[in-house]
Chain A
Amino acid sequence: MEDILAYLIDNQQQIYIFILAVFVGVEVISKVPTVLHTPLMSGSNALSGVVIVGSIIVLGNTSSDNYIGLVLGFIAVVLATLNVVGGFAVTNRMLEMFKKKPAKK
C-alpha cells in the first residue's frame, strides 16, 4: 500500500496532466457532425499508434542476446507501424469525400 502511495506522490505531475488531458480530449471533439464520426474514430485510432514510440524504445533497449525480447520487440514495432501508417492512410481516404469542388466563399 505504501509503495502505491509513494508511486502516486512521485507521479503527481502525471496525474495533473492526466486530468487536464482528459478535458482537452473531451473539449476537442465536443461538436462533431455525424458524417465525421467514422473518420474521426479512424484518425484517433491512428494517434493511438503512438505506442510505436514505446515499441522503438523497447526494441532499442533490448540486449542483442535476449532473443525472445528481440522477437517480441520487433513484432511490436511492426504492429505499431501498421497502426500508425494504416490509420493515417485510411483516414485520408475516408476524408476524400470532402475534397471535392473548390468552395466558393
Chain B
Amino acid sequence: MIESIISLSYLVAVVLFIVGMRMLSHPDTARKGNGIALSGMILAIVASMLTPGLNNILLILIAMVVGTVGGLYFSKTVKMTAMPELVSFFNGMGGAAAALIGLVEYGTLPTSAVGQGIVLMVSLILGSVSFTGSLIAMGKLQGKIKDIQVNKAIAFIVFGIAIALSAYILYAGVPNSPLIYAVLVISLIYGLLFVYPIGGADMPVVISLLNALTGVTAATTGLLYDNMVMFMGGVLVGSAGIILTLLMAKAMNRSVANILFTSFGSASGTVATGSGEEQVAKEINLYDTAILLNYAQRVVVVPGYGLAVAQAQHAVHDLEKVLEEKGVELLYGIHPVAGRMPGHMNVLLAESDVPYDKLIEMDDINEKFSTTDVVMVIGANDVVNPAANDDPSSPIYGMPILEVNKAANVIVIKRGMSSGYAGIENPLFFEPKTRMLFGDAKKVLNGLVTEVKNM
C-alpha cells in the first residue's frame, strides 16, 4: 500500500517537473512554473521519506534543516549580479551529493552486478567532475581564479585514467577496494582541468553544461535505485540543459565546441592578430526584443537618420502606443544633430502625432539613462558612439552624445553593420549589453508591435 502511494507520488512529481519547466520557459508563467517544480520536489522528498525500513530519520531531518538554512541564507543574501556564481555553487553541491551516494553505495553493491557497477561508476565520475568544475566556474566568475593554460591532451588522459581505473575495478570485482577513492580523486582533478582553461566570459555556457551533467548524474543515480523520479527528473534536466547550453552559446555567438576545445590562449591570439578588431556583435530576434520591452519600466527610443529613411515614424508611434497600454513608459531621446539637420527628428515624429512632451532633449535624457531598462537605437549611429567620450583618437572625440550605454540594455536596430555618417566604427555595438536587431526599421518596428500585442 505505502509503496504504491510512494510510486504514484513520484509519478505526480515527474509530471509537475515537466509542467514547471515548460512554464519556466515563458516570462508570464515563469514564476508559477518555479513554484510548480518546487511542489513536485517537495512531494518527491516527502514520498522518499516514507520509504519503508528507513533508518536514521532524525539524522536525515537534521541534515535537511542544515541544508535548508544554508540554501536560504545564500540565496537571500547574494547580490543580484552574483547570481550565476551561486547557481554554479548549488550545482556543484548536487554533483557532490551524487558522487557521495555512489561512494557509499559502492560498499553495498554485490560484486556480480556489472551493469549496476557501470551505472555507479558513471555517477561517481560525473558527479565529481560536476562538483570541482562548478566550483572553478564559480571562482572564475568572481574573478578569483585566473585563466590557466592546461593542455587539453593532459585533461583527456586524466579522464581516460579515471575510466580505465573504474573499468579495472569492475573487472576485478574486488569490493571495498581503495581504488574507488582513486577514481574519485582523479575525477575531481579532471573537473579542475576541464574548466581551468576556459575563459571567464564563457562561464555561463560552461555552468549550463555542468548543470546538464548533474542532471545526467541524477539520472544514473535513479537507475541505481530503480527510482523513477530521480531518473526522469535527471534525464529531463540533462536534455533540457544540453539544449539550453546550445541556445546560450548561440546567443553569445559562440559554438560549444569552440568554447570547450579551443584553448583560451589560442582563441585570444586569433582576435589579436586579425586585421583591425575582430569583435563580434550579438544579435537578438524580434521575440526576445518584444519580451525585453514588455517587461521594462522605461524605454527610450533614440531615433536617427535611418528612421527617416525607412519612413518608420508612424511605426515607432504605434509601438509607443502598444507599450504604453502595457504600462511601459516610452520616451524619445533627441540628439540635436540626429538626422541630417537640427530638429529633423522633432519634425519627423511630430508628423506621426508623437506628443511633444515625450521628445526629451539631450541633457535631460542623459540623466535618465541610468534608470532606463531598454534603449532602442533606431537608425542612429554617431550620436550614440561612446568613442566620443572615451577615445581621444576618435575623430568625433569631444562631441556630446546620448550616453545610451548607461542603460541596462541597448538594442540597436540597423540594416547592417556599416558605420555611420562619420564613417567610423561604433564600439557601442560590441558592448556586452548591446544587441543588434538587423532589418529595415519600419518592418522591424511593425514586427515588434505584433509581438508585443501577442504577449
**What is A's interface to B at a CB cutoff of 8 Å?**
3-4, 6-8, 10-11, 14, 17-18, 21-26, 28-64, 66, 69-70, 72-104
Contact = CB atoms under 8 A, between A and B. Distances in A.
7 shortest interchain CB distances as A-B pairs:
A7-B115, A81-B67, A25-B239, A85-B71, A86-B71, A60-B54, A89-B75
Interface of B: 17-18, 20-22, 24-28, 30-31, 33-35, 37-38, 41, 44-45, 48-49, 51, 53-57, 59-60, 62-64, 66-68, 70-72, 74-76, 78, 80, 83-84, 86-87, 89-91, 93-94, 96-98, 100-101, 103-105, 107-108, 112-116, 118, 204, 207-208, 211, 214-215, 217-219, 221-225, 227-241, 243-244, 247-248, 251, 284, 287-288, 291-292, 295, 297, 325-327
A90 B87 contact: yes
A59 B60 contact: yes
Nearest to A92: B34
B71 A81 contact: yes
B206 to A, nearest CB: 11
Contacts of A57: 48, 51, 54, 225, 227
B67 A3 contact: no
Given A32-B244, A50-B234, A80-B97, A86 B75 contact: yes
A45 B291 contact: no
Contacts, number: 378
A16 to B, nearest CB: 12
A23 B18 CA distance: 12
B34 A88 contact: yes
Nearest to B68: A85
A76 B100 contact: yes
B215 A48 contact: yes
A86 B74 contact: yes
Nearest to A75: B100
Contact of A84 (B28, B41, B251): B41
